[in-house]
Amino acid sequence: VRIQGLTGNVQFDHYGRRVNYTMDVFELKNTGPRKVGYWNDMDKLVLIQHEPTLGNDTAAIENRTVVVTTILVRWNDKFEGYCVDLASEIAKHIGIKYKIAIVPDGKYGARDPETKIWNGMVGELVYG
């Protein structure tokens, strides 16, 4: 199977893993998003060198554990895939600790039209 999707080429190997793709990695700041690198199945995380900025951008997360929220794939009960690989590479490059947490309601996220409240992984990101 090979299609062109929103994230570019969507193709899978015989194990069901996505191959032949590249995704941009952005840093989110008060000034807006900035591309800091890319991720692909061959090179993994590749960071782009930018002009040095004043201060230490990782100071806000030093000595803290970052929580990566995901949905557990029931067929193997293991954490694997893009999210896990990306979290591991980022932690290695910037020297932070992280833990993977299953989203409690098992949903990706939708906004309730009446209450205007997000559920799922989106809710975890919005509300913490």
Residue pLDDT, tens place only, 16-33 = 888 888 888 888 777 778
> Using the 8-state DSSP alphabet, how is residue 25 labeled?
E
Q: Which of 66, 73, 52 is nearest to 97 (CA)?
A: 66
For the record, the structure tokens of 3 come out as 């299609």
Ranges of each domain in the chain: 1-50, 57-128
More confident residue, 89 or 55: 89
Q: Which fold has domain 57-128?
A: D-Maltodextrin-Binding Protein; domain 2 (3.40.190)
Task: Indicate the pLDDT class of residue 115, thresholds 50, 70 and 90.
Answer: very high
Task: Indicate the pLDDT class of residue 52, thresholds 50, 70 and 90.
Answer: low
Measured between alpha carbons, how far is 25 from 46 in angstroms, rounded to an integer? Answer: 9
More confident residue, 1 or 123: 123
Cα of 78 vs its chain's centroid, Å: 17
pLDDT of residue 113: 92
Least confident range of 4-8, 76-80, 121-125: 76-80
pTM comes to 0.41
pLDDT single digits (tens) 74-112: 666 566 677 778 888 888 888 888 888 888 888 888 999
Task: Write the single-letter amino acid at 105.
Answer: D
**Which residues, 6 or more positions from 111, have their beta carbon under 8 angstroms from its beta carbon?**
117, 118, 122
